[in-house]
Amino acid sequence: MKKLIATTLLACAILSTNVFSAQLPPVAQKVKNIAEKNKLLYSPECTDYLYMPDSEPGIDSVIVVEKHEGRCPGDPGTQPRLFTVNIDQKTHEMTSDINDPAEPEFSAFPAK
């Protein structure tokens, strides 16, 4: 059931990201800045950030996905997930599954 809800929310986020070109929320912008500063992305210009407030109780998430449009290669109907960053709403600590997105084991983001 959680997987179905997450998939539905991800689809809504993808649709809203493509339809409305709004500025990133501050937490998503922070994730973007960290990823780019630490050179964690293969192609920063072909990367999108999907903000999911309250993805779990007390946790916001930013899903980092490939962007397939314009000069970015790939099927424009897809946005494969690269990794997810979870942000604790109280402590603002960030964890990510960037090291192994297939087996989501979250560790500090950025790695220390």
Short-list 47, 54, 11, CA closest to 29: 47
pLDDT of residue 19: 44
Q: Is the pLDDT of residue 73 over 80?
A: yes
Residue type, 76: P
Q: Residue 100's pLDDT band (boundaries 50, 70, 90)?
A: confident
Look over the chain and give the mean of its residue pLDDT values, rounded to a whole number: 85
Q: DSSP letters of 50-67?
A: EEEEEEETTEEEEEEEE-
What tens digit of pLDDT does each residue of 8-57 get? 445 554 444 444 456 899 999 999 999 999 999 999 999 999 999 999 99
